[in-house]
Amino acid sequence: MGSGKYDCYFKHDPAEVSKCLLCYDPECSRACPQSADIGGIIRSLYFKDYMAAARKLNCDCTYCNAPCEKACLLCKENRPVAIRELLTNVKIDKDLLPKHRIEAVDMSTDICGVKLENPFLLSSSVVASSYDMCRRAFEAGWAGAAFKTICSFTQHEASPRFSALKNHANAFCGFKNIEQLSVRTVEEDLQIIEKLHKEFPSKVMIASIMGRNEKEWTELASKCEKAGASVIECNFSCPNLENADLGVTIGLSEELTERFTRAVRHGTDLPVLAKLTPNITDMVPVALAAKRGGADGLAAINTINSITGVDIDTLVAEPSVRGKSIVGGYSGAAVKPIALRFIADLCRSKELAGMHISGMGGIETWIDALEFMLLGAGSVQVTTAVMQYGYRIIDDLIEGLSEYLKGRGIASVRDLVGGAAETIVDRNSIERDTIVFPVFDYERCNGCGRCYISCMDGGHQAIKFDSESRRPKLDGKKCVGCHLCRLVCPEMAVMTAGKVLDAEAIGR
């Protein structure tokens, strides 16, 4: 029951869902005469948690005059979300549900033997930087948090410190930060960890640390263990520090990574994760250096060196700090493909076999998290999505992944880890002798011609377009099976179930 099959149960309009502002204390829910959680239902649709959306629907919209739509804040712009239409289509066709569906699954996993009640953690960042924030996250349902990196040297932050690339729905595609580490003293941060550990003994506190020398790495690890941390995470990858000898500089060096990991190992008996940088061609050699130093696991990826853009009015790169900017760390949905590549590399390395991988980089939905786990991550960490949508996304992360497991008949989330890793092969091992032709679903096709335009100008001129019927037609003699047409179709009316032909047999 993957995302494609999952979508077919719910004939909603993703573009309409994306209009929703995902309000705090949504007025649409207040206005529902049947007390339905309208805002929660649409939020579940937004994060692809369709079963939860259907389960929350306790109202009948058939004869309702939709006061929820009239209450939508977008009414001020005369473009309210079409709530009634959306909710009318939120229903489960039980005949389509998998026959092997099970009703109970185990969502617990672990980091090197430290139990997690679910795979979802806050990554070391502003979202896990205070007692109150971690408390609220734990109460919401997050399994744990990597506390914002603890260090014994002063931080000197800039303002503003964020910039973003956005899509048409105003959501972050990519996010840049130039933020540094914890602004508190080591003692203050240790007190927070100790308090959280006592109040939430079932939650996992990961202490992210950074030292300037071996002595500091060892001492910080020891102090964090005594304060109640369950795991130590070595920040070898922050790209934003004023001191060029710290953070990402360590993660670029096998020698420094091994040396400082060993220093941490001397200071603690807790599991140690090395948080690695993607600002490198091959992460595996550095990961092996961390293993030699005594690391039990790996965390990846941290943010990517970036410039998100230039303000064309002021002619200053973003974010502008009194007319200047710097290269910063890039995160969000745009980095997920890069993160998945590194996770797969780490998982496929035989020399790293058995090491826990805590994956991060662009996770917003349960599907994103699932992809990380299928490529080898035993736990996942989230920051940017929480910064945009809040801790509340944990509901749909947990429920969406749980429903996937139930639909697949998989009893434990642990059984997913690495399930797709072997499908990544070397370039000379991929099969190149057949062609899979695309097939047009004319019932879904709206006749826009986007497939024709893209094939003509960016493909192999293999689609003809009849202006009278407004239907595309495939020219099999020219089609190479690249499937650009499928990717650009706004109605998902181009399918992949076409005939598979041997390339040599048709003269390719």
- The catalytic residues are 238
Answer yes or no: are the C-beta atoms of 36 and 29 closer than 8 Å.
yes
Residue 244's SS3 state is coil
Alpha helices in 333-449 (DSSP H): 336-348, 366-374, 384-389, 394-408
Could you give the CA distance from residue 196 to residue 144 in angstroms, rounded to a whole number?
Answer: 10
- Token reading at 268: 């603690």
Could you give the CA distance from residue 159 to residue 324 in angstroms, rounded to a whole number?
Answer: 11
- In terms of phi and psi (left: phi > 0; alpha: psi -120 to 50; beta: otherwise), the region of 325 is beta
Alpha helices in 155-253 (DSSP H): 186-199, 214-227, 248-251
Answer yes or no: are the C-beta atoms of 400 and 365 closer than 8 Å.
yes
Could you give the CA distance from residue 383 to residue 124 in angstroms, rounded to a whole number?
Answer: 8
Answer yes or no: are the C-beta atoms of 309 and 320 closer than 8 Å.
no
| β-bridge pairing 316-317 and 328-331 | unpaired
Nearby residues of 485 by Cβ (< 8 Å), 6 or more positions away: 438, 451, 454, 455, 459, 463, 472, 494
Burial of 482 (0-12, 13-18, 19+ CB in 10 A): middle
Among residues 498, 500, 506, which one has the least CA distance to residue 434? Answer: 500
- Token reading at 129: 């930087």
- Token reading at 48: 């692809």
- Token reading at 437: 């032709």
Amino acid occupying residue 268:
T
Could you give the CA distance from residue 384 to residue 330 in angstroms, rounded to a whole number?
Answer: 10
Residue 125's SS3 state is coil
Relative orientation angle of helices 366-374 and 394-408, to the nearest 10 degrees: 60
440 - beta bridge partners?
494
Degrees, nearest 5: CA angle 14-20-22: 120
Q: What is the DSSP letter of 128?
A: G
Neighbours of 128 (CB within 10 A): 26
Mapped to the 3 state alphabet, what secondary structure does 277-344 carry? CCCCCCCHHHHHHHHHHCCCEEEECCCEEECCCEECCCCEECCCECCECCCEEEECHHHHHHHHHHHH
